[in-house]
Amino acid sequence: MSELVFFSGTMDCGKSTLALQIGHNRSARGLQGVIFTRDDRAGEGKLSSRLGLVTEAVEAAAGMDLYGYLVTQMSKGAKVDYVIVDEAQFLAPEQIDQLARVVDELDLDVFAFGITTDFRTKLFPGSQRLIELADRLETLQVEAMCWCGARATHNARTVGGEMVVEGEQVVVGDVNRPAAEIGYEVLCRRHHRKRMTSAAAHAGALSPDVLPVTG
C-alpha cells in the first residue's frame, strides 16, 4: 500500500541527507524515482545536503501541477517507482493535494521532507497541509542543537547576527552564513523566545553589565 510520508525537523537535522539516502537505496534495487525540490541551497533543480552530497532534481515551481507532470512523464514511457520531495514546506497546499493524488491514483510512495514552522514559529502552509493529509508523520531522530547545547526545536532568522521576527515567510538562506548576511540558526524554545542567538549570547558574555563586580 503506497503512502504519503512527511519527514519533518528543524534546519540542520539531516532531512536532505535522508532524502538522498532513500533515493540511493531504492536506486540500488533497480527502482527509479522522481525528485522534486524547491529553492535548494545549491540552486534550481538541485537536491543537496550540508554533507556535500548533491543530485539533480525537478524544480517544483509555483503553480506547477506535480501530479500532471508525473502523468505526462509516465505516458511518455518513463519508469517512476517512487517520488521524493525536498523543501516541501515551500509547496502550495494544492500541490500537497496533488502529491496525495499521486499516492492514491498512481499508487506511488511519496516521501516529503521539510520543516514545519517558519522563523516566527508559524506553520508553513505546505507543511500544514502535509500534517493534515499524510499517511505517516516522521520526526527525524538526528537532533539539531542550540548554541546552549539543548535540543533545537525552532528556526530563527538572523540579519547581521541578530534575530528578526518580521518579514516575508520565505527568504532563502542557510545556517553557517556570514553574520552580515540573512541567515538562519536553530535554537531551543527558551532562547528563541528570548531572541538570543549565539552571537547575542557571545556579546552578552562580553558585556561589562554581566561581568562579576570585584573589589
Residues annotated as part of the active site:
87
Query: How many residues in total does the chain contain?
Result: 215
Q: Helix axis angle, 66-75 relative to 93-106, nearest 10°?
A: 40
Cα(137)–Cα(7) distance, integer angstroms: 6
DSSP at 89: G
Instruction: Indicate the Cα dihedral angle 131, 137, 143, 149, nearest 10°.
Output: 50
> SS3 sequence, 97-125?
HHHHHHHHHHCCEEEEEECCECCCCCECH
What DSSP state is assigned to residue 152?
A: P
